[in-house]
Structure 1
């Protein structure tokens, strides 16, 4: 019941205030720890086996540090007062959720496109995607924003809440540490192919169940909306999700693509190198800037749906004999 209460309160906090910049954020600490470890222990000339072994050590290092620091903080908070412990638990979980932040970042791209400032839109979408954005046309800028919102519905709140329900702030923080590892070193390029292998695989494992829960929630959101196509959403997931190189990202992307009647995926450039991603959904129409707020709306409705389900569960636990 405590972890359920903490998860509900943390989601409310994120939806209301997001991540104020004046407060310290665990993800910044994760990033600094990962960078320090890589600078300190990774040297040139290592064999693939050594790189992979060091990458595994990095995972254990960061998760151990996360667990120890969070335990000390929560123990100290409990010694001060039970209310302090509760408030800190809620805040720590809320830092692993990013619904409001993802919405604001995506809507900044939309606002620039709506104002006719394609150059600014390219800059803003470059903050939230890894692909080259300097020469993207308007439709491709919109596609990039839609794809990152759709994909990150899992990372931004479904997975953190899932692990918060299982293990409170410890579960949420350990998940976010793993997700930060994947975002920093979990690439299949020459630099991180072996060093980031463990980080990428662990992130895939942790997101496996939440990604499939997300697909079901997105389909239900589409079912409740007149503007969205639930049948196409389900068909796209069943037909296209497995084509994605990630075992998880294809599920929310294909669900959103089908619901909107657009096609995601295609050709992207990373550092000037062309990468062709599998196509999700059928192109009943071209992607437009208006698809960005529609996708953000699907994300928020998914968050509200989760909130309602958690409140129903809390009520049942409270009133059961």
Structure 2
């Protein structure tokens, strides 16, 4: 059933892409801000309570609806799985900007590529070279492919029904919303959400990195994973996305990271990966890497399905 759910969602997304930010992210972020205003008393324990009520409640509702529908008709439960997976994952969450940036660079329209990259990342991209734009776009794409595709899928297949997909998406949004505050009280309140997501994402991060290594340059991917991943700083979600970026860079044979001048200031970023500087051709290679990793997932699920059918 999980394999058919995944295939159905991939086809549905190609036919009718979901406006993820307006349909999923913003409602969840508003819910998170509402709970923060109600529960935030400047202590970590209140953040824990709010997280359990919100994320745990969403998971229980998703699982309860699945169980009820499954008791009525397994087809209804499958349709619920497809709907939830459609809402919680998807390539179109990042492919729009990436494809447009790639096209702009091929047309040698660097100013337009800078504008698109700035809109995507929410940071100034003035005076960036075409190589730097390609490098930053690849980093964003590898990170987004994990957060919006592979991370969701790992949790989806580990937990019954759509519970895993809801857990991953809700935990990511709450960690992002509560983890952006700078004052001490808000930071203490949001600390548990970041720690919880780091635990939830621990295994998915490594499975994504392993998938990139298998379908790419395995030796370089493993080398970069082991020797460079810990040099990449955690993002606002508080998780080690450097594992995915290092493995992906090694699998592609491209150098990512490195210092970048943003808004007149130099961002001191570690170099990860091996090989050549990033360019528009490597952007296309990154797309192929992500799709091959997804095909690997489909193949594994197909084999597991056959094994369950012929097993004792």
Q: TM bucket by the smaller chain?
A: 0.7 to 0.9
Unaligned regions of 5+ residues in structure 2, if any?
Answer: none
Q: 1:215 to 1:196 in 2, by over 3 A?
A: same
1:107-164, Cα deviation, whole Å (9 max, x unpaired):
1221122223323322322343254334433222211110011223322222212211
CA distance in 1, matches of 2:118, 2:261: 12
- 1:179, CA displacement in angstroms? 1.1
Q: Under a length normalisation based on structure 2, what TM-score does the superposition of the two structures give? A: 0.84
Residue of structure 2 equivalent to 1:185: 178
Residue of structure 1 equivalent to 2:94: 102
CA distance in 1, matches of 2:19, 2:252: 37
Q: 1:293 to 1:65 in 2, by over 3 A?
A: same
Residue of structure 1 equivalent to 2:276: 285
Q: 1:21 to 1:250 in 2, by over 3 A?
A: closer
The number of aligned residues is 303
- Residue among 197, 206, 212 paired with 2:191: 197
| 2:31 pairs with 1:38 | no
CA distance in 1, matches of 2:173, 2:288: 25
Q: 1:16 to 1:127 in 2, by over 3 A?
A: farther
Contact in 2 for aligned 1:11/1:97 (Cα 8 Å): no
CA distance in 2, matches of 1:269, 1:184: 27
Q: Under a length normalisation based on structure 1, what TM-score does the superposition of the two structures give? A: 0.82
Contact in 2 for aligned 1:266/1:279 (Cα 8 Å): yes
CA distance in 2, matches of 1:10, 1:300: 17
| 2:106 pairs with 1:114 | yes
- 1:320, CA displacement in angstroms? 0.8
CA distance in 2, matches of 1:21, 1:100: 7
5 Å matches for 1:129-144? 129-144=121-136
Contact in 1 for aligned 2:9/2:82 (Cα 8 Å): no
Unaligned regions of 5+ residues in structure 1, if any?
Answer: 223-228
- Residue among 10, 13, 17 paired with 2:8: 13
| 2:90 pairs with 1:90 | no
Q: 1:231 to 1:64 in 2, by over 3 A?
A: closer
